[in-house]
Amino acid sequence: MADPQHAANPVLITDAAMSYEEELAARKHRYKIMMGMRIPLMVLAGVFYTIPWLAVALLVISIPLPWMAVLIANDRLPKKREEVSRFRADRPQIEAPAPRAVEHRVIDQED
């Protein structure tokens, strides 16, 4: 049965964590992007074979990409907050500050 205290204080969904499916989709997207960068880097290394230092640099960059992609894809996103934010009716509402009047002074100039 639901806890009556929690029923009176509903969880604010704007502070809710991402669902597992959304988090998994975000991790898959990052993995695909990183793995998608590997093939163009290797192709560019082949295109620039006449410039050895550039070809080697592109290959060196492409070598750790699969390892980094797997590590980043398997890592969960950091949690935002540990405590659940709940609605409380006793909190003061956010109000716009009262507009401040601007004083206009006329200064008489003597010639």
pLDDT in tens, 53-76: 999 999 999 999 899 888 888 887
Give residue 54's pLDDT. 94
- Asked whether residue 18 carries a pLDDT value surpassing 90, the answer given is no
DSSP secondary structure of 59-108: HHHHSSHHHHHHHHHHSPPPPS-SSPPB--TTSPPP-PPPPPPPP--PPP
